[in-house]
Homo-oligomer: A and B are copies of this chain.
């Protein structure tokens, strides 16, 4: 696979931590919300995977931008954008929420943080949700303020993240529940910290608003983390595919509805809340979907997915398309996330795929893999 450089410019925004991760040996970037997202640090993909699963990593995920919606109508606007019923939501809790349009199709899948009933953060995937929210607020004449606040997240992920964070923030941080958040003091500055993160290895996300303190905290995490074998890292392709953590733009986009993405438990059609696309989703539910995201295991040692790749059955019928994929050390074959057409949903459905002009076989399975 030929490699290409990234042409840096102000438009591909740096983060407050960029100069640090470049000193720490970052070798490649993705772009996420118009911002640099580190993608590798020179070690092999498998080494960083093993490290993440066994130790602790600090990630510069400032590119997980926030859309702050505040004001009298903020709860109404946030609810309008998601099919998840937030009427019983609580302050200081995180909610994974599909954002959908009036056609019932996916626009984003943020973590929604309810700071209070009149102030919400949407910690977004890679699309300009702020423009959707602004358009709606203007059109509906809502009494809200919508901004992208200065928040640059540091994620601390991996099984040893709890011990590391306890050293810095003491016992109170261990008591934080999954998807809960609270404010924690670091040398006199309060930081919003959630027990969350884009891995299934456990950990925290620190929503840094005070950059000076955040940079000091970043350095402190590496200092204190030495005994836990801390390393810089980033959201990890192998880990996230094995864990079935879906990625907007990769695994699904505005051509897919939340049922097709398997988000059924975040779709509340029976409650009274008002949200966009509700009638559409009712119709889709009653008619049934004809494609859905599933896992695939492929008897291959290597893959690079930079666009959808067709999956076929033994008779060469297209049965779906692979959208993400990577060699899995756990399965010792390629694991992938694919949109599969209805007649082929059965687990163990055989598939064929062409990788670098060679044909490989495999099978369909449910998500998550692990």
Contact = CB atoms under 8 A, between A and B. Distances in A.
A179 interface: no
Contact of A139 (B31, B131, B136, B248): B136
A4 B31 contact: no
Interface residues of A, number: 55
Contacts of A14: 306-307
Contact of A132 (B6, B131, B249, B254): B131
Interface in A1-40: 2-14, 22, 26-31, 34, 39-40
A259 to B, nearest CB: 20
- A12, A135, A306: most-surrounded residue (chain B CB, <10 A): A135
A326 to B, nearest CB: 10
A310 interface: no
Contacts of A11: 30, 126, 247-250
A127 interface: yes
B131 A107 contact: yes
A228 B5 CA distance: 29
Nearest to A325: B10
A178 B248 CA distance: 39
Number of this chain's copies in the complex: 2
A7 B34 contact: no
A324 interface: yes
A7 B4 CA distance: 8
Interface string A122-155: 0000111101111111111100000010000000
Given A7-B40, A28-B6, A307-B14, A138 B102 contact: yes
A101 interface: yes
B306 A8 contact: yes
A133 B132 CA distance: 8
A276 interface: yes
A26 B128 CA distance: 28
Contact of A9 (B102, B136, B305): B305
A3 B8 CA distance: 9
A323 interface: yes
Contacts of A250: 9-11
A134 B9 contact: no
B10 A305 contact: yes
Given A3-B5, A249-B34, A250-B11, A139 B135 contact: yes
Nearest to A146: B101
Contacts of A308: 10
A89 interface: no
8 contacts: A4-B5, A5-B29, A7-B40, A11-B248, A11-B250, A14-B306, A129-B131, A136-B136
* CB-CB nearest 6 A-B residue pairs: A139-B139, A135-B135, A11-B249, A7-B39, A128-B128, A5-B28
